[in-house]
Amino acid sequence: MDSNHGWPEPIIRVQSLSESGTETIPTRYIKPPSDRPSIAANSSPLSIPVIDMSAMSREEMASAMSAACREWGFFQVVNHGVRPELVRHAREIWRRFFHLPMEEKQRYANSPTTYEGYGSRLGVEKGACLDWGDYYFLHVLPSSLKNHEKWPALPPDLRDITDEYTRELLNLCGRVMEAMSIGLGLDPTRLQESFGGAEVGACLRVNYYPKCPQPDLTLGLSSHSDPGGMTVLLVDDRVRGLQVRKGSDWVTVEPILDAFILNVGDQIQSLFPCFQVLSNAIYKSVEHRVMVNAANERLSMALFYNPKADLPLSPIQELITPDRPALYKPMSFNEYRLYIRQRGPRGKSQVESLKTSQ
C-alpha cells in the first residue's frame, strides 16, 4: 500500500491542525459563502420533536414517530431504556481514545476501500474541500464483518463498552423500526423484513470535531443525508453543533442529557413509491450538517442501521398503486454506498440522482 493508504493525497489530521495553534484554517477547509454557517440561520425558533418512549402506548408512539419522520425526518427520544451510565461511559471512553497520542491512533489509519478505522475525510476526489473533523468508523453487523482487531485496543475497556453500547442500540432500532411500520399502517415487522430481517447491517462512526479558530468559515461535516437505513446519534451533552434542514432554514438541535437523536436515512426513503405531494407522505431522509466552534471540541457517535448489504431494495409493495408507482429503481445498499463514497457529502443530490424518470 502506498504511503497515503490509498487516499489521493497525504492525510492531515484535523486534530493536529487544531493543536498546532494556528489562527487561520488552511484554504482547503474554507467553504463557499453559501455553505457557511450563518448566524441568522441559527436563530430559528423551531426544534425537532422530542418523544418520551416511556410515556406512551405502542400506537401513540407509532403515530408520534411516524409524524416526526414525515415532517422532519428527525426526532429525539428520551427514556429510551438504554442505561444513562452506559451512554455516558461510551462517550467518555471514545473521547479518551481521541486524546491518546497520535502514534497510537495512526495504527488504525483507514483507507478509502473500507473506511474502517481512523479517518479524516470522505470522498477521494483530489483537491476536494475538506471538513473540520476526524472520525473512527467500525463495523458492528453482520458479525462476519465485525472485527475487534480493527477496533481500538486502547483505552482497555473500549471494545467491551462499545459492544454493550451497540447491542443496546440495535435493540432500540428494532423497537423504532416496529413503530415506524405501524405508523405506515403496515405489519409491525414489515420494515425490518424489507431490510433483510435478522441480516441487517450496522456500523458505528464516532466523530471528533476539534476546536476551530475560524468556525464561521467551515463545517465539521458538510450538508448530507445519511446513506443508510436509520441513524441513532448520541451528541455531545455540552456542545451544540448539529443543524437540520427545515425548508430553507437550518434548525440547531439542542442537546438533551442522555437522549438519542434518530433520523431517517436514504434507504428508508427509497422504500416509498411516488406520492404526488411528497411532503408529509413519506419518511424523509433530511439534510443535516455540523458546525464547529472555537471554544470547545465536540464528540458524537452515530450508529447506522442498514439493510442487508447485497439485498436489492425495492419500494414497499403495499404502498404502490397504479397512480403511485415506484420512484427509485431497486439498488442494494452496497451499490449505493460505493456511489456515495466516491463523491463525499453532497446534500441530498445523491439520493435524488437515482430516481427513475418521473
Give the range of 134-142, 226-234, 312-320, 345-353 binding Ni ion by CB under 5 A: 226-234
- What the block records as the C-alpha cell of 249 is 432554514
Q: Which of residues 49-88 bind ligand OGA (CB under 6 A)?
A: none
Burial bucket for residue 34 (CB in 10 Å: 0-12, 13-18, 19+): exposed
SS3 sequence of 106-146? HCCECCCCCCCEEECCCCCCCCCCCCCCEEEEEEEECCCCC
241 binds, among Ni ion, ligand OGA, none (CB under 5 to 8 A by kind): ligand OGA
Does residue 219 touch ligand OGA according to CB under 6 A?
no
Residue type, 167: R
Site stretch for ligand OGA (CB under 6 A), options 70-78, 109-117, 164-172, 234-242: 234-242
**In the complex with ligand OGA, which residue's Cβ is closer, 137 or 328?**
137
Asked whether position 287 contacts Ni ion by CB under 5 A, the answer is no
Taking CB positions, which residue lies at the least distance from ligand OGA? Answer: 300
Q: Which is it for strands 230-234 and 331-332: parallel, antiparallel or unpaired?
A: unpaired
Query: Interacting stretch for Ni ion, rule CB under 5 A, among 207-215, 220-228, 238-246, 350-358?
Result: 220-228
26 Cβ contact partners less than 8 Å away, ≥ 6 residues apart: 17
The count of chain residues that interact with Ni ion, using the rule CB under 5 A, is 1
Among 162, 194, 207, 222, binds ligand OGA (CB under 6 A): 207
Of 196 and 228, the one with the shorter C-beta distance to ligand OGA is 228
Alpha helices in the chain (DSSP H): 14-19, 58-71, 84-98, 102-106, 158-182, 190-194, 266-269, 333-343, 349-352
* Angle, in degrees to the nearest 10, between helices 158-182 and 58-71: 90
The b/e string for 81-102 (b: 16+ C-beta within 10 A; e otherwise) is: ebeeebbeebbebbeebbeeee
Residue from 152, 215, 241, 344 touching ligand OGA (CB under 6 A): that is: 241
Query: Of ligand OGA, Ni ion, none, which one sits near residue 134, judging by CB under 5 to 8 A according to partner kind?
Result: none
Q: How far apart are CA 307 and CA 332, in angstroms?
A: 8
Which residues in the 252-311 window bind ligand OGA by CB under 6 A?
A: 288, 290, 300, 302
The distance of closest approach from Cβ of residue 124 to Ni ion in the complex, given in angstroms and rounded to an integer, is 19
Q: Which residue is nearest to Ni ion (CB)?
A: 226
Backbone angles phi and psi of 341, in degrees to 5: -65, -25
Is 266 an interacting residue with respect to Ni ion (CB under 5 A)? no
Which does residue 66 touch among ligand OGA, Ni ion, none (CB within 5 to 8 A, set by kind)?
Answer: none
**C-alpha 343: how far from its chain's center?**
16
Which residues, numbered 17-46, are part of the site for ligand OGA (CB under 6 A)? none
Sole binder of Ni ion in the list 226, 236, 266, 297 (CB under 5 A):
226
- Spatial distance between the Cα atoms of 187 and 172, rounded to a whole number of angstroms: 18
Q: Which three cell numbers stand for residue 51?
A: 418523544
Contact positions toward ligand OGA, by CB under 6 A? 205, 207, 221, 226, 233, 235, 241-242, 288, 290, 300, 302
Query: Which residues sit at the interface with Ni ion, rule CB under 5 A?
Result: 226
